[in-house]
Amino acid sequence: MEAARLLFDQVLKRDVVSWNLMIDGYAKCGKMETAYEFFKNMPTKNVISWTTMISGYVGAGMYKEAMNLFQEMQIEGVQPDKVALASTLSACSYLGALDQGRWIHAYIDKIGIVIDPILGCALTDMYAKCGDMEEALEVFKKQKKKEVALWTALIYGFAIHGRGREALDWFETMQKVGIKPNHVTFTAILTACSYSRLVDKGKSLFESIERVHKLRPRIEHYGCMVDLLGRAGLLEEAKGLIELMPVKPNAVVWGALLNACRIHKNVELGTKVGKLLLEEDPDHGGRYVHLASIHAAAGDWDQAVEARREMKERGVSKLPGCSAISLNGVVHEFLAGTKSHPQAAEIYRMWDNIAERLEKEGYKPALQNLLLDLDNEAKEMAINQHSEKLAIAFGLLRTKPGTTIRIIKNLRICEDCHTVTKLVSKIYDREIVMRDRTRFHHFKDGNCTCGDKW
């Protein structure tokens, strides 16, 4: 980009194309601050200028910035093209911003933009990842031209919602109408089998990748199978599959086995896998936490504390928990243990009321897995400030009775928060849809669609 910048600086009459090229170049290099400086200083902008910046933000994982710029684009009266719309829908998908996604869908219909395969796929993916599978299916059904990417988006949506049998039905329908699954489709359908614990079907589909479809299984497919076998309690079989892999297993594959050890409390294997992971990925805080949790669940407190101590000595920190809830077009974020929200005082008072009702239901906080050097009272205070609990309290405060509460969480939901959310759904007669790091949990009447294995 240095050569391009020198050339750009030497041009006396710079047109909008040359400015757009510089923005695009810096965005592709990941230098979004510089890209924005060019964008801001442009004497004249066209729709490509806006689209390039929005797409650049999404590519850099700066989803809030992408959505803010899209809103600014609306204020300026610039009609977005299909690429800008698809990119902003991707940002909505990541943030779980269902209200904003719905607004964009309505906007597309209002101005008469034809929903082509790219927009159809983006809308289907957005609704699925924002927790509304019924609307995702409606968008899918209305598409005249259904390409493999669209089918895959739908199948993956059903997968992460724990609706594995529906994912399988659509996978079979896709092939009946002559659409061939690709590598990404197989990742989606194997994920569906894993989350719905369809072991035999998952094994059959994995074998068919090469035997029937003439594709070579990739490492992500092996990762799905390890996850599938592990969740089903077939830990030795999962370990055996890793040992037979034609490629070196990565941290994701070993992480799937470690998570299975946590679920099934296999301390011996979990310790071996955990130590191996720490050697390969020593800067990932989640590995230490997983290993500590396995020891804690087995009552081996010395080893649990040792895992935390090693994490601290290496200067590795755990990603702080963050939960978001979208209401009336505004995304409200909550960080664990903080009072940064403008209505924090009201939210904490609401949580105190919730805690009283939980206690009457016989709930006791799961303090045994909280590895902090605190007394039980302080531990209870810490666990009550987990981000998803604050989001739930806010949702109950700000929505009418009977309204579904939708929450996006950046980490895997902990055991205590999972128990609490089940009880809250029963006590307050609410459906709570929560997307954590890997999947959706639909809480209703005191139950969760994950079957308490996640």
Read off the pLDDT of residues 183-204 as tens digits, 9 standing for 90 and up. Answer: 999 999 999 999 999 999 999 9
Instruction: Select from 436, 446, 407 the least CA-distant residue to 160.
Output: 436
Tokens of 157: 């949506």
| pLDDT for res 374 | 45
Lowest-pLDDT choice from 37-41, 135-139, 254-258, 370-374: 370-374
Answer whether residue 373 shows pLDDT above 80: no
C-alpha to C-alpha distance for 195 and 353, rounded to whole angstroms: 34
| Span 261-293, pLDDT tens digits | 988 889 899 989 988 888 887 877 777 887 887
Measured over the CA atoms of residue 392, residue 394, residue 398 and residue 401, the dihedral's sign is positive
Strand 322-327 and strand 330-335: the pairing is antiparallel
How confident is residue 395, by pLDDT bands cut at 50, 70 and 90?
Answer: very high
pLDDT of residue 375: 47
Residue 315 has pLDDT above 60, yes or no: yes
- Cα–Cα dist 289/307, whole Å: 8
Three-point CA angle 113, 115, 119, nearest 5°: 110
What's the pLDDT score for residue 345?
92
Q: Domain containing 29 — which CATH number?
A: 1.25.40.10
Range of the domain at 418: 322-448
Average confidence (pLDDT) over 283-309: 77
d(CA 330, CA 341): 13
Mean pLDDT of all residues in 72-92: 96
Q: Is residue 137 part of a domain?
A: yes
Residue 369 has a pLDDT of: 57
Please say which residue of 97, 113, 143 terminates a domain. 143
Residue range 117-129: mean pLDDT, rounded: 97
Assess whether pLDDT exceeds 80 at residue 444: yes
Q: Of 207 and 288, which is predicted with more confidence?
A: 207
Count up the domains in the chain and report the number: 2
Question: How far is residue 131's CA from residue 91's CA, in Å, rounded to a whole number?
Answer: 15
Does the residue 377 lie in any domain?
yes
With 90 as the cut, is the pLDDT of residue 354 above it?
Answer: yes
Tens digit of each residue's pLDDT (9 = 90 or more) over 135-164: 999 999 999 999 999 999 999 999 999 999
In-domain check, residue 152: no
Question: In Å, how far from its chain's centre is CA 291?
Answer: 22
pLDDT tens digit sequence for 46-67: 999 999 999 999 999 999 999 9
Indicate whether 230 belongs to any domain: no
pLDDT digits (tens, 9 = 90+) for 215-231: 999 999 999 999 999 99
Rounded Cα–Cα distance for residues 419 and 78 (Å) = 47
Residue 15 has pLDDT above 90, yes or no: no
CB under 8 Å to 276, separation ≥6 — which residues?
Answer: 254
Contact, 266 vs 237, CB < 8 A? no
Rounded average pLDDT over 437-454: 93
Nearest CA to 48 out of 27, 65, 31, 30 is that of 27
Give 442's DSSP letter. E
Q: How many residues does the chain have?
A: 454
Instruction: Evaluate whether residue 419 is within a structural domain.
Output: yes
In the chain, the amino acid numbered 81 is D
Band of the pLDDT at 329, cuts 50, 70, 90? confident
pLDDT band at 376 (very low <50, low <70, confident <90, very high): very low
Residues 434-453, mean pLDDT to the nearest whole number: 94
The residue out of 122, 143, 164 marking a domain boundary is 143
435 within a domain of the structure (yes/no): yes
**What pLDDT was estimated at residue 78?**
96
- Long-range CB contacts (within 8 A, 24+) of 352-356: 354/389, 354/392, 354/393, 354/396, 354/424, 355/384
Residue 164 within any structural domain of the chain = no
User: Do residues 420 and 357 touch, judged by C-beta distance below 8 A?
Assistant: no
Domain final position from 143, 164, 193 = 143
CA dist 237 → 268, 287, 291, 366 (Å) = 15, 22, 21, 31
Distance CA 412, CA 233 (A): 20
Q: Which residues pair with 405 in a beta bridge?
A: 432
Q: What is the pLDDT of residues 248-260, one digit of tens each?
A: 999 999 999 998 9
Give the whole-number percent of the chain exceeding pLDDT 90.
73
Residue 348 lies in a domain: yes
Would you say residue 89 has pLDDT above 60?
A: yes
